[in-house]
């Protein structure tokens, strides 16, 4: 009887122990899931101009119960796998900066300057908790396009006669990947090429714009004094405000040649009249 009683008394303790262990495992699992590191989806596509800076952003949220910040690293997808930037030759000019935007978030900014076409591709960031933890999280893939865009306006100054016409030429050399994404326009006195500013103070009323392939010609007709100034050929893509280029030329309007000729004739006539009058006066003086 005692053996049976002893065995029956141990059963509740075993059940309590098992229930306690299961509860603790459940709580730890829930905490681990709640405190798991998470990489946020920010910008899936980034553009940059060749020769300028390419910036990629990655943000990781984590549980403050981890007592330490996660480590964020970057990699670029190659034909094999996502390779760490430190293992790629073209990334000798990159830097990474980390900052706290929130108490439980770390932001990593990858800067590549100057960027070139070889830096185009698919990037990904990885957030990892300290080495004693296996918790890691891969960020969403970011597609980066480093493109070339060049604007050429021949000459620095061009002049035209008042009342005549004048052509301003602008040649745009673009990356084929930018086809059908560009807007090209001329503006006067609007160095920033802001379209809204163009409508307010940079409008050119007496002009026509023609385009042939990559060449854009602005024709000014019936030139006036107020047409003098600096003209800008503005190019930008609707894909990103980072893709923009500008060329400029100074326009000078000279006087009407007919008026100049008339002034010369008047001056010559006055000179002839004065010379003749002087000659006649001298002759009269000699006769006396």
What are the boundaries of each domain within the chain?
38-147, 149-254
Distance CA 116, CA 268 (A): 65
**Closest Cα partner for 62 from 157, 14, 128?**
128
Q: 149-254: same fold as 38-147?
A: yes
Predicted confidence (pLDDT) at residue 93 exceeds the cutoff of 60:
yes
What is the CATH superfamily name and number for domain 38-147?
Immunoglobulins (2.60.40.10)
Distance CA 87, CA 75 (A): 9
Distance CA 208, CA 24 (A): 78
What is each CA distance from 278 to 24, 83, 259, 268, 270, in whole angstroms?
A: 124, 96, 28, 15, 12
The percent of residues in the chain predicted with pLDDT above 70, rounded, is 70
Summarize pLDDT for 207-265 with one digit per residue, the tens: 566 666 688 899 998 999 999 999 999 988 888 888 889 999 999 998 766 665 666 68
Distance CA 189, CA 192 (A): 9
What is the CATH superfamily name and number for domain 149-254?
Immunoglobulins (2.60.40.10)
Predicted confidence (pLDDT) at residue 198 exceeds the cutoff of 90:
no
Predicted confidence (pLDDT) at residue 179 exceeds the cutoff of 90:
no
**Closest Cα partner for 108 from 72, 161, 160, 136?**
72
Give the distance from CA 249 to its chain's centroid: 23
The pTM assigned to this predicted structure is 0.64
Element (H, E) at 247: strand 240-254
**DSSP3 helix / strand / coil % (the chain, rounded to 5):** 30, 40, 25
Residue matched to tokens 């923009």: 244
Predicted confidence (pLDDT) at residue 162 exceeds the cutoff of 70:
yes
Would you place residue 169 in the very low, low, confident or very high pLDDT band (cuts 50, 70, 90)? very high
Distance CA 34, CA 40 (A): 15
Summarize pLDDT for 12-56 with one digit per residue, the tens: 554 544 455 444 444 344 344 445 677 776 788 999 999 999 999
Predicted confidence (pLDDT) at residue 11 exceeds the cutoff of 70:
no
């Amino acid at each position: 009887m005692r053996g049976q009683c002893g065995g029956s008394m141990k059963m509740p303790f075993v059940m309590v122990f098992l229930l306690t262990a299961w509860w603790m495992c459940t709580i730890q699992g829930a905490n681990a899931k709640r405190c798991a590191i998470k990489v946020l989806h920010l910008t899936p596509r980034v553009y940059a101009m060749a020769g300028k800076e390419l910036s990629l952003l990655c943000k990781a949220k984590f549980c403050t119960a981890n007592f330490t910040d996660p480590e964020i690293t970057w990699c670029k997808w190659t034909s094999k796998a996502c390779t760490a930037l430190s293992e790629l030759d073209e990334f000798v000019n990159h830097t990474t900066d980390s900052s706290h935007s929130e108490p439980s978030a770390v932001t990593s900014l990858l800067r590549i300057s100057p960027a070139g076409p070889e830096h185009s591709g698919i990037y990904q960031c990885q957030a990892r908790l300290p080495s004693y933890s296996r918790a890691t999280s891969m960020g969403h893939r970011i597609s980066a396009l480093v493109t070339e865009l060049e604007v050429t306006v021949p000459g620095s100054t061009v002049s035209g006669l008042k009342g005549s016409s004048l052509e301003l030429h602008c040649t745009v050399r673009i990356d084929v990947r930018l086809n059908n994404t560009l807007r090209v326009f001329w503006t006067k006195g609007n160095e920033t090429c802001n379209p809204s500013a163009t409508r307010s103070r940079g409008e050119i009323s007496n002009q026509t714009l023609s385009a042939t392939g990559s060449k854009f010609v602005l024709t000014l007709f019936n030139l006036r004094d107020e047409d003098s100034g600096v003209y800008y050929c503005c190019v930008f893509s609707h894909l990103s405000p980072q893709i923009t280029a500008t060329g400029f030329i100074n326009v000078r309007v000279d006087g009407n040649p007919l008026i100049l000729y008339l002034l010369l004739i008047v001056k010559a006539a006055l000179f002839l009249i004065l010379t003749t009058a002087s000659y006649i006066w001298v002759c009269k003086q000699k006769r006396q």
